[in-house]
Amino acid sequence: QVQLVESGGGLVQPGGSLRLSCAASGFTVREYRMNWYRQGAEKERELVATISNIGRSTMYADSVKGRFTISRENTENTVYLQMNSLKPEDTAVYYCNVRMTVDYWGKGTQVTISS
């Protein structure tokens, strides 16, 4: 049974950092492309970052390039999203995702950037 559990969200001031974790079970993260999405209030869900199953090539939304880093720890079967220089517009619920024959999603973790 595929499960994704996000953690690490919280309230931080602008310019701060957070590291989100996505603990996976029921499959091996290194065998699939793993994605982080986010959805702000009254906004559509958007793809933030992705890491491939072949090598560790990564892709980022333009809005987070240079500030966010996605990584994968195979021994822990966990995917991370390191978020630096956070801005109020980064406020959203962040979701971990893996696409197999269907999409699997975690329940999300709230990130709030506010002074």
pLDDT tens readout for residues 8-64: 999 999 999 999 999 999 999 999 999 999 999 999 999 999 999 987 899 999 999
pLDDT for 18 equals: 98
76 by DSSP, 3-state: which?
helix
**Sole residue written with tokens 């492309």:** 33
The percentage of residues in the chain with a pLDDT greater than 70, rounded to a whole number, is 100
φ, ψ for residue 73, nearest 5 deg: -110, 105
pLDDT for 39 equals: 98
**What value does the mean pLDDT of the chain take?**
96
Examine the pLDDT at 96 and tell me if it is beyond 90: yes
CA distance 80 to 70: 6
